[in-house]
Chain A
Amino acid sequence: MTVHELSEPTTESVPQPDSPAVPPRPRKGRSKAAMLLVLPTMILLGIVVLYPVVSAMVMSLFKDPTIDPATGKFVDQGFAGLSNYTHWLFQRCTDTTGSSVSCPGGTLGSLFWQSMWVTVFFTVVTVTIEVALGLWFATIMNRAFRGRALLRTSILVAWAIPTAVTAKLWYFVFAYDGIANKLLGTDILWTGDTWPARFAVVIADAWKTTPFVALLILAGLQMVPAEVYEAARMDGAGAWQRFRSITLPLIKPAILVAVLFRVLDVLRIYDLPAILTGGGGGDGTATTTLSILVIDQMRQGFNSASALSTITFLFIFAVAYVLVKVMGVNVIDTQEQQRKA
């Protein structure tokens, strides 16, 4: 950037009505207009996202206040360094004498790695099921048939109803006397036992979001030109071969975008396990995800809850980074292509 360029905005800031015939060239004037348009969003996101996240990080460096038995008031305990983080990551708790011990079972501090494991389990299992089923749904929906409107409606209802309602609906389906047990002829404690409770959450989530995945993949499928299939068929490629060597590579970007969105969504899952199983099932913590653990901790202390929410956020961010950088998920471009098709 030269000095000359820097001084340009003052002379060009007056909009010239007949200049934009040459589209993106006059950068300076446009840049200023763009900044004005983008600024409100940046300010608002700064208030509703950046401020909370930064203050959570600051809060996480302080000890939780404790009640002074003499006065009955909360007393700040001062700077904590990274002890809130070691509390979670290494499950270190402070005992009554003030020394650091391994968190006893039953305390929230002992639950971190289990919650992490439960969260990752939900993510891997539900996203796998949703993508496999979504792919199948999408290939069916891509064929020509009558009654598209009914199909779109039936697929969108599951997506549109609130997760809280979904959770209650499946709570009823999975009730001991509920329809799931009656249909299967079983007497499983779906929301009560450890593994059934976990799979109840997985099934409810798969029911709700497979339609969304199917729609994303369908948009990708519709970009594949029919002539390519015709040509492949002429060359004698079978259905499976056509799917493997034409469809799959072409819809890979759409699938990856769906995977990215779903992974980030399930990693922060809260509503379904919280309402469907109360975060419990079995030992009372079988479906406790990271988000549920943060909320439970919030009632005991904001600062250590902030440390946990920061860990959760950094973990999700790291996963997003890996998906975008390593797997090359290109959200913006893929979706633009899908729209153009």
Chain B
Amino acid sequence: MSTAVVTPGTPRPTVARRRRGPSLASIRTYLGLAVIVVWGLAPVYWMVATAFRHSDYTFDTTPWPTHVTLDNFANVFSTGAGNHFARALVNSTIIGAVTTAIGLIVGVGTAYALARLQFRGKHAVLGIILAASMFPGVAVLTPLFQLFTSMGWFGTYQALIIPNISFVLPLTIYTLTAFFKELPWELEEAARIDGASRRQAFRMVLLPLAAPGLFTTAILAFIASWNEYLISSQLSNDITQPATVAIAQFAGSKPHEEPFTSVMAAGTVVTIPLVIIVLLLQRRIVSGLTAGGVK
């Protein structure tokens, strides 16, 4: 919708590349890019490198591990010293999957309504959802802690999943609404003119088109749930503890000694699936993030 009038038919003025060789500007750009890449990856690299160091060489400063060992990973998955890391990974997966499923199933209808329908109180609904996403975890934790304890739910999966819904549901609705607004809704109209009900039109025509958006939203919701710490640290027990809490409490086998190399190995294990997801889906995640915004 620019004000410039472009006569159709006239060829677009091609903006020629100004310089061919490496100019000062492009050198500065690449220097900046290097800074960003180092910023993002250097600390993570240090974690991974340390994960492979023998614990006697924890504080080595060689850029790569010299006494390479897999002991740290073995330590992470050993069940000595009260660590249940493998179990914690399973717990995180269960909690994340169920929370994501609830967020998507409940959120998809609401997002459809917000993206597609005009109704009274639409702004109020948007406001409520946005406000819900701003709540500090501690505001919901105290009463839920008391309630779950009195119900005998302390340490159960549902006690960990229900509070997660409070921030995952607003996130899914918000992201899905943004995705749904982009869909070619004329197709829905066409299907309805052909006699499909609103439900049929949505399920058979739009849902397949919306699949990428749903998938991205699911990933964002899962990551958000996977990363939750505050509520889990208070409401989980040794059996239901998710990976974030397990890492924070990782004790190692030697008392009175911070098992840095093992903790870095645990961090690496938790980070690898996320790095794979990011590698495969970076473009989608970026569009989902900037659409949904809410962390």
Q: How far is the CA of A240 from the CA of B68 in the complex (A)?
A: 50
B245 touching A164, Cβ below 8 Å:
yes
- Contact across chains for B278 and A156 when beta carbons are under 8 A apart: yes
Q: Which of B112-169 contact A (CB under 8 A)?
A: 112-114, 117-120, 122, 125-126, 128-132, 134-147, 162-163, 165-166, 169
CA distance A271 to B233 in the complex (A): 10
If A162-B229, A270-B230, A302-B145 touch, does A49 touch B274 (CB 8 Å cutoff)? no
A residues near B223, Cβ cutoff 8 Å? 160
Q: Does A108 contact B (CB under 8 A)?
A: no
Q: Which of A147, A162, A261, A332 has the most CB of B within 10 A?
A: A162
Contact B119 A30 (CB under 8 A): yes
Of all chain A residues, the one with the shortest Cβ separation from B58 is A177
CB pair A216 B140 closer than 8 Å: no
- Distance A226 CA – B120 CA, assembled complex (angstroms): 39
Judge if A236 is at the interface, Cβ distance under 8 Å: no
Nearest residue, chain A, Cβ from B275? A157
The answer to whether A164 and B247 touch (CB under 8 A), given A45-B129, A267-B136, is: yes
**Does A132 touch B at the CB level, under 8 Å?**
no
Smallest Cβ-Cβ distance to B110: which chain A residue: A41
Q: When the two chains form the complex, which single residue of B135, B271, B287 contacts A49, counting CB atoms closer than 8 Å?
A: B135
Contacts of A270 in B (CB 8 A): 137-138, 229-230
8 Å CB contact of B110 from A37, A56, A59, A147: A37
With A38-B125, A215-B289, A335-B178 known as contacts, the answer to whether A145 contacts B295 (CB < 8 A) is no
Q: A55-B143, A331-B293 are in contact. Are A27 and B47 (CB under 8 A)?
A: no
Q: Which of B41, B113, B137, B282 contacts A38 (CB 8 A)?
A: B113
Q: Which of B46, B120, B135 is the one whose CB lies under 8 Å from A179?
A: B46
Q: Which residue of B lies closest to A207 (CB)?
A: B43
Question: By the criterion CB–CB under 8 Å, are A21 and B43 in contact?
Answer: no
User: Is B263 touching A53 in the complex (CB atoms < 8 A)?
Assistant: no
Task: Give the interface residue-count category, chain B.
Answer: 35 or more
A160–B286 Cα distance when bound, in Å, is: 11
Interface residues of A in 8-61 (CB under 8 A from B): 15, 17-18, 20-21, 24, 27, 30-31, 33-38, 40-42, 44-45, 47-49, 51-53, 55-56, 59
CA distance A35 to B270 in the complex (A): 40
State in angstroms the CA–CA spacing of A230 and B18 once bound together. 13
Set A21, A48, A291, A320: member contacting B230, Cβ < 8 A: A291
What A residues does B145 contact at CB under 8 A? 298, 302
Question: How many residues in A have their beta carbons less than 8 Å from beta carbons of B?
Answer: 107
Stretch of B25-33, B77-85, B203-211 contacting A (4+ beta carbons < 8 Å): B25-33
For A169, list chain B residues within 8 Å (CB).
43-44, 46-47, 264, 267
Q: Lowest 9 A-B CB distances belong to which pairs? A: A268-B136, A154-B40, A34-B119, A140-B32, A164-B244, A37-B109, A52-B140, A219-B290, A37-B113
Residues of B within 8 A of A (CB): 2, 4, 15, 26, 29-30, 32-33, 36-37, 39-41, 43-44, 46-47, 50, 58-59, 61, 102, 106-107, 109-110, 112-114, 117-120, 122, 125-126, 128-132, 134-147, 162-163, 165-166, 169-170, 173, 178, 181-182, 189, 192-193, 195-198, 223, 226-227, 229-230, 233-234, 243-245, 247-248, 250, 258, 260, 263-264, 266-267, 270-271, 274-275, 277-279, 282-283, 285-287, 289-295
Give the interface of A toward B (CB within 8 A). 15, 17-18, 20-21, 24, 27, 30-31, 33-38, 40-42, 44-45, 47-49, 51-53, 55-56, 59, 136-137, 140-141, 143, 145, 147, 149-165, 167-170, 172-173, 175, 177-179, 182, 207, 210-212, 215-216, 218-219, 225-227, 230, 257, 261, 264-265, 267-268, 270-271, 274-275, 290-291, 294-295, 298, 302, 305-306, 309-310, 312-313, 316-317, 320, 331-332, 335-336, 338-339
